[in-house]
Amino acid sequence: MNSETASPANTSPANASPVTVVGLGLMGRALARAFIKSGHLTTVWNRTAATADPLVDEGARRASTIGEALSASPLTILCLTDYQAVRELLDTSDADLTGTTLVNLTSGSSAQAREAARWAERRGAGYLDGAIMAVPPAIGTADAVILHSGPQADFAAHRATLGALGTVTHMGADHGLASLYDVAGLAMMWSVLNAWLQGTALLATAGVDAATYAPFARRIAAGVAEWLPGHAEQIDRGSFPAEVAALETSARAMDHLIEESEAAGVNTELPRLLKAMADRAIAAGHGGEQYPVLIEEFRKP
């Protein structure tokens, strides 16, 4: 990730440039509203035209065709159900996209993002892919994190406009990066939550409620997060000296987690998964190295 970040505080109506929003579902409507509120001349288009009515009342301009929508502004935000819908829609339009920049905030995979970028290039349009890591009510506030990837120059050219949506960041030139960061963030989120739920279920068997355990769990999670830069250095160097603890020491503690879970009668799937991965790394001769050596297990198909 580079430092190309903008947030709503960085934008002002004085430099507001026109923008089009295509797709006015729950998210698209929130995006359009944020642009209207920050003073951008906002053109909107939706397959079901009546959905645009409240936005027009709030100051948006309605495009009667998708072609008109695409040619109305130098920047068009796409926010549809999926990439197939985006392609179906844009393939029907013979609008001249030369010089237009499309920012596709539709959720999808990195492969779909790269393919969409190639399609846009063939049509003469600039293309940034994006991932919205927020819910509609947060759009337009700094809490709405929106990742973008694609040519840095395209992001820089439209950073002020995109900043009306939230905290927008450029992740790199590869169009697939926004989607990859998005799912990497979800992996982090679900793993932390599942680990917390495991502990919560265990402690409940001793009468400890979730609210009592939560502050303790939060301190552990924050402490582990502090290890990441050092662990990342080991991974990037490809060298895993046991500076703090060896993997085989961690694996013995995993046995305790499995035994406790079994004895308490709670689910053991997560503890067994952790142990199975550690056991494979130990069998491959990595028991004396530090925990991040497990990256080798994650790199396998």
Encode 173-202: b = buried (16+ Cβ within 10 Å), e = exposed: eebbbbbbbbeeeeeeeeeeeebbebbbeb
Per CB under 6 A, 88 contacts ligand NAP: yes
Chosen residue from 135, 184, 245, 284 binding ligand NAP by CB under 6 A: 135
Residue among 171, 167, 148, 174 nearest 75 (CA):
148
Per CB under 6 A, 79 contacts ligand NAP: yes
Chosen residue from 1, 17, 26, 263 binding ligand NAP by CB under 6 A: 26
Residue 69 or 125: the one with the smaller Cβ distance to ligand NAP is: 69
232-236 contact pairs (CB < 8 A, 24+): 232/292, 234/290, 234/292, 234/293, 235/292, 235/295
Query: How many CB atoms sit inside 10 A of residue 150's CB?
Result: 29
Chosen residue from 8, 23, 150, 199 binding ligand NAP by CB under 6 A: 23
84-87 contact pairs (CB < 8 A, 24+): 86/116, 87/116, 87/119
- C-alpha to C-alpha distance for 39 and 15, rounded to whole angstroms: 9
Per CB under 6 A, 146 contacts ligand NAP: no
Chosen residue from 89, 201, 208, 217 binding ligand NAP by CB under 6 A: 89
Per CB under 6 A, 98 contacts ligand NAP: no
Residue 130 or 287: the one with the smaller Cβ distance to ligand NAP is: 130
First vs last Cα of the chain: how many Å apart?
A: 25
Per CB under 6 A, 48 contacts ligand NAP: yes
Shortest distance, position 73 Cβ to ligand NAP, whole Å: 18
Per CB under 6 A, 25 contacts ligand NAP: yes
Per CB under 6 A, 165 contacts ligand NAP: no
Per CB under 6 A, 65 contacts ligand NAP: no
Q: Any alpha helices (H) in 76-109, and if so which ranges? A: 83-91
Site for ligand NAP in 242-271 (CB under 6 A): none
Chosen residue from 132, 139, 254, 282 binding ligand NAP by CB under 6 A: 132
Query: Is residue 19 classed as helix, strand or coil in its secondary structure?
Result: strand
Site residues, ligand NAP (CB under 6 A): 23-28, 46-48, 51, 79-82, 85, 88-89, 106-107, 132, 135-136
